[in-house]
Structure 1
């Protein structure tokens, strides 16, 4: 992250940032589909995929698998970055998609739409601009003592 004022989590395990950004792009596409159709099945799929990535089961994540294939296909190469900020962002995505899925199932459409729009903004920033909103959230949570 270019901003030195951010306090991103670190675990000193490197992953390919291009693959992570491709996953975010796939989330963006699925999020748009979910928003257009208000489909709780898509939200549940995203919840499952975010959960797999949050708990470090990336090998079982369909989006991570597809992103790896697309990175190879488009020959974007390997750009090493620390894994921890992406896992934290996946945790945020998991929480958001749990709320989105429950809101859609309970017909709380306004809540679902607002949460989907926030998810889409985060996914767009990560995939298209390389801006990890999770690092900003983590920094503020740490600043206010919510996490150590």
Structure 2
């Protein structure tokens, strides 16, 4: 993945907490796919909204992940916050789309959208591969690279 440009910021977060937060969202998306209960994808959408629009620190799922990481005594691994916020914004779009489709009765579209988000989230949480960086590199950065 050399040569890939990701958004950057001076703020750092713990990679382990971030990955566990996303994995907990994966579990919630799995519950949605299994039950088709919009409550689960609604919780995911709310968490992505908090992390993407408000402040990462306000996320209740992240708070839960911090407590698990602390209890397991896992050493902190600082990473840049900006790529995670960008990925959260993309996740928010997918989660809201899935929730709206489900509420409007388009279950197949909702399941496909949530399934895609779940696959992308698994890639991030389990394999530490951020598709958001690829999307940023090829679809966003080319429009802003000369506007420093």
Q: TM-score, normalised by structure 1?
A: 0.92
Of the three residues 49, 52, 57, the one matched with 1:51 is 49
In structure 2, the partner of 1:83 is 81
For each residue in 1:6-42, what CA deviation from the matched residue of structure 2 results, as whole angstroms up to 9, or x when unmatched? 1100012111011100011101100100110111111
Find runs of 4+ consecutive structure 1 residues off by over 3 angstroms.
none
In structure 2, the partner of 1:15 is 13
In structure 1, the partner of 2:125 is 127
- TM-superposed CA distance for 1:143, in Å, is 5.3
In structure 1, the partner of 2:140 is 142
In structure 2, the partner of 1:34 is 32
Q: 1:79 to 1:56 in 2, by over 3 A?
A: farther
Q: TM-score, normalised by structure 2?
A: 0.92
Contact 2:101 2:110 in 1 (8 A): yes
**Which structure 2 residue ranges, 5 or more long, are not aligned?**
none
Give the SS at the match of 1:129.
coil
- TM-superposed CA distance for 1:110, in Å, is 1.3
TM-align CA RMSD: 1.3
How many pairs are equivalent? Answer: 145
Give the Cα separation in 1 of the matches to 2:106 and 2:70.
Answer: 40
Give the Cα separation in 2 of the matches to 1:64 and 1:7.
Answer: 26
